[in-house]
Structure 1
Amino acid sequence: MKRALTTLALIAGLSAPAYASECGGNFNAFVKDLRKEAQANGYDAGLTKRFFANVRQDQNVLAADRRQGVFQMDFTSFSRRLISQGRINTGKRKAQEYSAVFDRIERDYGVSRGVLLAFWAFETDYGGFQGDINTLNALVTLAHDCRRPELFRPQVFAALELYRQGNFDPQRTTGAWAGEIGMVQMLPADILENGVDGDGDGKVSLKTSATDALMSGGKMLQHLGWRAGEPWLQEVQVPADMDWSLSGTAQALPISKWQAMGVRPRSGAWDGKGLKAKLILPQGRKGPAFVAYPNFDVYFEWNQSFTYVLTAAYFGTRLMGGPVFDAGNPEPGLEGADMKALQRKLAARGHDVGKIDGILGAGTRAATQAEQKRLGLPADAWPTRALLNAL
């Protein structure tokens, strides 16, 4: 899980850096500038020398950063890949084993156990595999790379602050390829801000203490805006014909409005009848359908992938006893070269779809819906062959 972060000054409590470490160029020179920047902000020269002494560029990290083809999968395929009966059974056991911890999290931070269980499962298989990549190498490699330096450069200094506090070993701390650490995979700056010593041993140990990891994750979600005691996602049934342009992540309507249009919970009553919600159709009007309550937006503060976020949110409902979603009978979507062709056509018409990568992200969905509406097609934001041909 990773998110856009604040500046170095806000993360580590430092003054504005005196050196600007530009991305790209010679790696060793970049590291040298990082050391100068740290010292200019008050860190001891000996400490910074030890911290950066063995850092190296990791080509495997760069390869992983560019190889995220799993996010090209549609929601149904992706969710079936990630959600196994084994993960469900383990989640139920973990909910019982750590029941008292989850009670504390719900009391102190207002976050449901289903939400954290789902993250715990997806990120590290309940702590079973937390990543074996050297964290400092990963962070410096990604800070040096010019794709997202604004995200990763501050994390290097956050790791330095953890090191100064005795909570980070630059040679032995390992985690995911993108620098996340521990059972729920938190970046160093988020550990500084939201790390909790849940088991009372005087340390925040996200790699070895499930209690610390879960409490820290709950605090972080609260920090990101989680609304205590409110739902986050609910499966619904939609009528055969309605104004599909009202669906998507851009606008929320009161539940009473959706109800008036014929939207109904697939089972039971409305979870958040007094709230506003967004109608989410991940595979168009003929596929699965959900309403997303305000807490759903917090997921995007932790991960930017629409498919991952929706799957994590849905899995949280499953772990709380919700039913298997109805996959429906969606129209075939676009994949690979066809999706890239659509993105190029949308970009040529002035839409911001981001990188032409074949991934159906938020920008491509919004552009698809706009063009569907312009062309008189059902504006459900699901790109099909009919739309590609029409463009």
Structure 2
Amino acid sequence: MTIEERKSYFIQVGKFLSLFGDGTNNSIKITPENERFFNELNDKIDQSVHYNGWFTRENVIFSLQQWSKALTQSNLDTWLTPYNLGENQQKTVAIIMAGNIPLVGFHDFLSVLISGHNVLVKQSSNDKQLLPVIAGFLMNIAPEFEDRIKFTEDRLTNFDAVIATGSNNTARYFEYYFSGKPNIIRKNRNSVAILTGKETKEQLEALGEDIFRYFGLGCRNVSKLYVPKEYDFDDFFKAMFPWNTLMNSAKYANNYDYNKAVYLMSEFKLLENGFLILKKDEIFGSPIATLFYEEYEDEKELQEKLEQNKENLQCVVGSEAEIDFGKTQQPELWDYADGVDTLKFLEKL
């Protein structure tokens, strides 16, 4: 199977996933060939929402839409051109996936297969409904993948390399257990946003997407703000208001109530609007329904501080930062998790 063939198959996957879009793309229709997989994935979306209380249909559809937009000829060409993936020796790469947000492990799955290797997938119990259906669709349009894709719930065996994602604690176990194999081990990371006080209403509203999409559970979700000294949060809170419907989620509301109670009992000074708590804190990672913030006076010193902590950061958001407001959960194919070039790793196996 050539690299061009592999690209063409994933372009078809992208078109299939676009069936779950907003209905504006009338050129994509359900056909007899994809109807079975459409119905199956539609059912699995409902099952995943029932199984994982942090998954909502809206968020799962959002994830599918992002992948449908990513898997285009232009994006794949841009992503793959710098690499030599045409004549790789075929290896089996095990992937241990996280389950914090829907299809969080799909980029690794895509990377392994499009680079010409075989994939052995161990999914998180929190997100195991969706990917097997997409893999089934892929194997249906390209039977060559049937021998290249395997899912397992057992102990991993018979693999040549591993990509594992987990917490800082599990990462230490992964590093020990997989020390004899080529590996990528991902740990906890957080994302921050830099505000100057000059942001427009539209920019602040877009920041809400970075904070609240997937209930803030992704490593690309903004969990901390850096604001100028004496920053006025009024415009910020007004821009966040459309997300007040998160309180309709019992799990989110319970976390909000619990964290607020803990902070108040500890006599911490808080700002809050009925669904989001702002707490001054130097830590990067904030609890659900809470956003930490820290004041700064010198932008150069702030940039130096962030540079010193780059190993702990996934995204830095701002009008003059690496990522614009509203874009953290819309990464390009070449925006690698933890800044580790997955394809270069796979190219060298």
Could you state the TM-score of these two structures normalised by the residue count of structure 2? 0.26
Tell me which structure has the larger Cα radius of gyration: 1
Instruction: Decide which structure has greater strand share.
Output: 2
Q: TM-score, normalised by structure 1?
A: 0.24
